[in-house]
Structure 1
Amino acid sequence: MMFQVKNICLASLLATFVIGSAPVKTNSPTDVKYVATFENKIDGTIKFSSPNGSVLVNVNLSGLPPSGGPFPYHIHLLPVPADGNCTGAGGHLNPYNGSEAAAALADKEAGDLSGKHGRITGQSFTTSYIEQYISLNETDLAFIGNLSVVVHFSNSSRLACANITKVTTSIGSIERSRTLLTANGGEINTSGSTVFSAAAAATLGFLI
């Protein structure tokens, strides 16, 4: 019985650290960027960067339907499955048990971007803002990497979704998918990261 009481007390204590207002996040690294790229049903990107430790969100979307808005959008807990079914993205990112109905921004769900910054209006939409309650720090409870963004109709049904992926760049390597022509007309596919030395580049007839 004593063991059960101790477990209940411990669970209650831990809950006090998880339930409540979300803390302001200033721990995002400034050298990383993430992007959700929409290519099905709507077009465009939602980009996440951190110029000073807080997360800057840039929204640039087009091809939205002429009716069914204004459109809410949220960060969801799971990546979009391979079949593209947005239902598989799960619920909203909500590590502090916030509420969509809360008045204070800190008390809302961390992933409820439109609840804090306004819904998408019109068939094309652009905005940018600082979002204080999500993070690009992989150790943070509100880390958004490898999750997804879902755009909804105003009736809450899911319109479109996209995975939040890390934008990778590296000096001295090629990290883009394209085809390079060799000197003899052959092809080298550089999907992923391929490092070339200057001598190798000269042999192939191109410069990095």
Structure 2
Amino acid sequence: MLCRFATLATLFGVVLLPLTATRSLPLDSHRAVYARDTTAAPVTKTKPSITRTGLAGISSATTDIQGAVYFFQTDHTSPAMMGYALYNLQPHQTYSYHVHVSPVGANHNCTATGGHYDPYSVNKDAATYKCDGTKPKTTCELGDLSGRFGSIKANGDGVAMSPQLFTDSYLSVSNMNPVHGRSIVVHNGKGDRVACGNIEDIAN
């Protein structure tokens, strides 16, 4: 499995960066809505030049989770592509993952990342929010990756590989709705933040 991960990293130019796993407060205690305006999310039509952004790392003392979430674009006009590879998850368990507003703090605490990235204020009420992946512009936080593309599901060995490269027409590497400078947070079934890491620019 590690060999397969290395192959993915080499293929997409992903450099492994620190990913911190930590015990923290439940998700609902830290959900927040961040908005620039109240219009529906536009499809990102203009993309930057060939850019790759990667996320990866190692576990903390509280869990052994490690892996990578990566975004990349192949030309100026193509949508971003996203995939993941995670290891040492709980076998047969389901996890959610999101782009969070802020980077991981200096103390490597996942709670420092703030709430889900939701620039168009789609989530007006956490109690009733429900992302419909077929209607991402009007029902999903842009950072709700598991809502838009499906949850992370660990196999019997605690490994989860994205079943495909997901096409994301709304988030970008560094142009409109950029992921660079934000973070990825992985949540367990209870909503606890069990792993996180900063999204870093890899190459331009």
Q: Tell me if TM exceeds 0.5.
A: yes
Residue 36 of structure 2 is aligned to residue 36 of structure 1: no
Instruction: Name which of structure 1's ranges 23-32 and 42-51 shifts more when overlaid on structure 2.
Output: 23-32
Match among 102, 115, 118 for residue 91 of structure 1: 115
Select 1:130's aligned residue among 151, 167, 170.
167
The whole-number CA distance in structure 1 between the counterparts of 2:54 and 2:45 is 19
Distance 1:86 1:24, change over 3 A: same
2:130 — aligned with what?
Answer: 101
**Residue 18 of structure 1 aligns to a residue in which SS?**
coil
User: In the alignment, is the contact (CA less than 8 A) between 1:20 and 1:98 conserved in 2?
Assistant: no
Please say which structure displays the higher CA radius of gyration: 1
Give, in whole Å, the separation in 2 of the partners of 1:51 and 1:82. 32
Secondary structure of the equivalent of 1:106?
A: helix
Indicate if the aligned counterparts of 1:75 and 1:149 stay in contact, CA closer than 8 A. yes
Contact persistence 1:38–1:160 (CA under 8 A): no
Q: For 1:142-181, what aligned pairs fall within 5 Å after superposition?
A: 142-168=177-203
- Where do 1:23-62 residues align within 5 Å? 23-40=42-59, 41-52=64-75, 53-62=78-87
How far off is 1:116 after superposition? 0.5
What amino acid sits opposite 1:96 in the alignment?
A: Y
- Deviation for aligned residue 1:56: 0.2
Query: What is the CA–CA distance in structure 2 between the aligned matches of 1:64 and 1:30, rounded to whole Å?
Result: 35
Listed as ranges, the gaps of 5+ residues in structure 2 are 1-35, 124-128
Letter in 2 for 1:116: R
1:115 equivalent in structure 2: 147
Q: Percent identity?
A: 29
Pairwise CA distance, 1:168: 3.3
Greater helix fraction, Structure 1 or Structure 2: 1
Q: Name structure 1 gaps, 5 residues minimum.
A: 1-16, 170-208
| Cα distance in structure 2, aligned partners of 1:38 and 1:85 | 14
**4+ long deviations beyond 4 Å:** none
CA contact (8 A) 1:30 1:49 kept: no
Q: How many residues align?
A: 151
**One-letter code of the match for 1:26?**
K
Per mean C-alpha deviation after superposition, the further-off stretch among 101-110 and 84-93 is 101-110
The normalised TM-score by structure 1 is 0.67
How far did residue 135 of structure 1 move? Answer: 1.3
Assess, with a 3 A threshold, how the Cα gap between structure 1 residues 132 and 96 changes in structure 2: closer, same or farther.
Answer: same
Greater relative contact order structure (CA < 8 Å, 6+ sep) = 2
What is the one-letter code of the residue matched to 1:154? G
